[in-house]
Amino acid sequence: MLNTNDILAIKLGQRCCRRYIDSFPSIQAIVNECCNALNIAQPKLIGCESLVRSFSAFQLRGEPYLIFDGCLVEALFLYNHILSSGNNKDDMDKLFFKLFGEECILLGDLLHCLYFSGKYSTYRFSFDKNIGHNSQVDELVSCQIYFLIAHELTHTALWEPSVCISASYQKFVREAIRVLTVRDMKTTGQSFQEYISHRTGYFLNFVPENMDEYLDALMVSTRFHHFIEECYCDFMGLKLLLEHYEDPKRSVTAVSSALNYLITQESIRSDMRDGVFHMKDTLREATSAMYFSVLRVQFLLLTLEMNELDDIERAFAQIHDRSHLTERLSTFIEFLPDEEAMGVLTDANLPKIDPKTLVNSLLRRFYCLSVDTAGLFT
């Protein structure tokens, strides 16, 4: 039987880690504070920099663990610097070459990763000399880390049999779905049947006849309950962040930025799921994860609206203002080489070295920022 360390090693190995992080006391302090607020036991904190780029809470043999992923923090730093620097197109494209190239590594496509790594190396971020020296960006990333950690720790709180999502929040979710459905139907000009036939498959295996049947079915759907939990963890993450930081405007800005980045990341993964030859296929449906990402943002905005947070209109506007990266993505993909051009590359173009050495070389090539070299994390 595998021991705990063996299982953890396998779990981390599946994330394609650039490296592991041994000590980061400021992150531990955030975990401690959130655990005290949630009245839960502190998980064992595992630090790494992985191409999965996500924080993750899980249980192993009855003990809670939290993976803190420095590569997600690196991406958030770059994203916020791009926003702060005026949404320079070359900056956005360089980030895309990095994200697409690292996704190729995750998919085991080292051949086409070479294309993205080569393009990545021909660009320079306009803010290169300013990384780690921009207090506004530092503050946003600090808030984003707090929000993401609080989100994951709320999941661990819900593992307790005595803890559940309140009936009032589930009622809010039901009404939120109604509001969002009506809004979208007005925007698209579709009837209920037209609108729902394209979306019901994410949560249901049939097409309901009317709104009430749709809402009733959602509230007993296992898949929808998993989605409710994600939204609830977002709500609690923002709540804990607002309780910790005195500036609600900055907190909302930070969270809207983080969620917009995550939508962009999920969009890239959706585009890449069938390989580089299918990236330009605009007729493919988005993955359910992509749909969930967008819907989560809408839910969080409705949560703010229902709680009458000051400057809610500004918060809605910021979601759009901070979506430049997502909007640029379609143009970036449009100008990538087509299938015929990509097909010119063959395994003969791979360097004559073993795959592990090549992966390590590519990981170093895409490296930009390590969490323990930024002042926030020491």
- State pLDDT tens for residues 365-374: 999 887 665 5
Which three-class secondary structure state does DSSP give residue 37? helix
Amino acid at site 252: V
Dist. CA 18–CA 362, nearest whole Å: 10
Cβ neighbours around 244 below 10 Å, total: 16
Dist. CA 197–CA 208, nearest whole Å: 9
Distance in Å from the first CA to the final CA of the chain: 37
Dist. CA 218–CA 222, nearest whole Å: 8
User: What residues contact 199, with CB distance under 8 A and at least 6 apart?
Assistant: 291
Residue 173 near residue 228 (C-beta atoms within 8 A): yes
The pLDDT assigned to 23 comes to 80
Cβ neighbours around 315 below 10 Å, total: 20
The pLDDT assigned to 320 comes to 54
- Angle 248-272/135-158 helices, nearest 10 degrees? 70
Residue whose tokens read 């780029």: 53
How many residues are given for the chain? 378
**Whole-prediction pTM value?**
0.91
18-70 pLDDT, tens per residue? 999 988 899 999 999 999 999 999 999 999 999 999 999 999 998 999 999 99
Mean pLDDT by 10 residues, the chain (378 residues): 89 93 90 96 95 96 95 95 91 96 94 93 90 86 96 95 88 88 89 84 87 94 92 92 83 87 88 74 58 79 67 54 76 84 74 88 90 58
E strand segments, the chain:
17-21, 44-50, 56-60, 63-69
The pLDDT assigned to 314 comes to 57
Q: In this prediction, what percent of the chain has a pLDDT beyond 90?
A: 49
204-212, long-range: CB < 8 A, 24+ apart: 211/178, 211/181
Q: Which two tokens stand for residue 357?
A: 């050495």
In DSSP terms, which residues pair with 20 in a beta bridge?
A: 48
Cβ neighbours around 228 below 10 Å, total: 21
